[in-house]
Amino acid sequence: MEIANEKKIAGLVQFLRKGRTMTGRFRLPMSEEQAYEYLLAAYIMEVQLRYRRFIYNGFVEEQLKQVANCLTANTAKFGIVLCGGCGNGKTTMLKALQNLVRRLEILKPNISPNAGHSSDNYYSFTIVNAMQIVQIRKTDYNKFCKLAEADILGIDDIGTEPAEVQDYGNFIYPIKELLAIRYDAQLFTVFTTNLEPKEIRQRYGDRIADRLNEMMTKVVYRNPTYRTENAQMVESQ
């Protein structure tokens, strides 16, 4: 359906946008191919730090390609869900992402390259376990709020924490609260989970599930665990 007086409406949109700014989407400052190479190197390093030997396979290739695309594509998305079974590399990917962002020292939007070497000018990447978030919410609300406003937040093992907790007689829902804050602020978020999409909806409700669909690109880990002697990706040295 065509918009009547399209030119006039476009002018009104510009008028109403005065003083408003769009939240910049975090992206790696490189091509998708370069992002893949950087991610692969960061991933290999994380495997080696656990005294394991990295072995390349089709599962890893596809996962790295999907994440590289998420981090370079011109889309409205501002997050990644790494989902699948236990022990198949999701947390390794999360840590690789954190190290890569820290090492690249990526300037935030609207920060001049000549602004000086202040840590506030660069994207930070914080990782926290879902169980820790629950504890922080109960014991230190100010810290919880700062965590919710982190530049980039990685949440490990969503779904392992209690969905609701009691705090001085009141029920609170820390993960739902945190995700809602980050959705409203359009802050880049990455989380790992063993839950399937339908289980996420059942656990956190339609409102959060729908927001996650808008926020995040889903990367599904279909490979078996790498924590066995016969693992295909990592082996004891």
Q: Report the CATH superfamily, name and number, of domain 76-224.
A: P-loop containing nucleotide triphosphate hydrolases (3.40.50.300)
- Going by C-alpha positions, the residue among 112, 117, 133, 107 that lies closest to residue 191 is 133
Cα 234 from Cα 44, distance rounded (Å): 10
Tokens of 94: 């999360």
pTM greater than 0.95: no
Determine if residue 19 is left, alpha or beta; phi over 0 gives left, psi from -120 to 50 gives alpha, anything else beta: left
Which pLDDT does position 235 carry in this prediction?
A: 43
Residue 44's CB is within 10 A of a number of other CB atoms, namely 16
Q: Quickly tell me which residue has 């409205």 as its tokens.
A: 76
Which pLDDT does position 4 carry in this prediction?
A: 67
pLDDT in tens, the chain (237 residues): 466 688 888 888 888 888 777 778 899 999 999 999 999 999 999 999 998 889 899 999 999 999 999 999 999 999 999 999 998 999 999 999 999 999 999 998 877 777 777 778 899 999 999 999 999 999 999 999 999 999 999 999 999 999 889 888 889 999 999 999 999 999 999 999 999 989 999 999 999 999 999 999 999 999 888 877 554 444 433
Tokens of 180: 């809602």
Cα 75 from Cα 127, distance rounded (Å): 24
